[in-house]
Amino acid sequence: MAAMSLLQRASVAVVTTLSGRRLGPRLGFGGFLTRGFPKTVGEAELAEIPEGYIPEHWEYYKHPISRWIARTFYDCPEKNYEKTMAILQIEAEKADLRLKELEVRRLMRERGDGPWFQNPTCDKELIDYSPKATPDN
């Protein structure tokens, strides 16, 4: 009788897997372990790499769970390198702009320039000093 119930459970699991439907809470935590983790058993074996083949970054790990974790959660080293280079370029540009700003401030102090230097002022001859009926005219 126990063998029959085990066979029934196995057949129900196969049918639900093939149909794509969820089994629900009856599957429990064991379903996460059987569906979420790699199905292969055993460690990887060292083999010759065919000519022209470039292995993926997770293929360097020996254990299948380590491979799955590397493939699922970690970025490839090339992507990490590109992200780091982008951050370094942004920081180098910021440092260059800071040096330019310090040089500009030094020259402004040295020459007596300031932010008002760029604002044109009105010519004194254009100001009308005649008496007016109202102060705002």
Question: CA angle, corner 39, sides to 33 and 44, nearest 5?
Answer: 125
Q: How far apart are CA 137 and CA 135, in angstroms?
A: 6
* Reported pTM: 0.46
To the nearest whole number, what is the mean pLDDT of the chain?
Answer: 76
Q: How far apart are CA 79 and CA 85, in angstroms?
A: 10
Task: Please report the pLDDT score of residue 1 as a whole number.
Answer: 44
Two tokens, residue 53: 């083949």
pLDDT band (50, 70, 90) for residue 35: low
The string of pLDDT tens digits covering residues 83-119 is 999 999 999 999 999 999 999 999 988 988 776 656 6
Instruction: Please state, as a whole number, how many other Cβ atoms lie within 10 Å of the Cβ of residue 44.
Output: 14
CB 74 within 8 A of CB 103: no
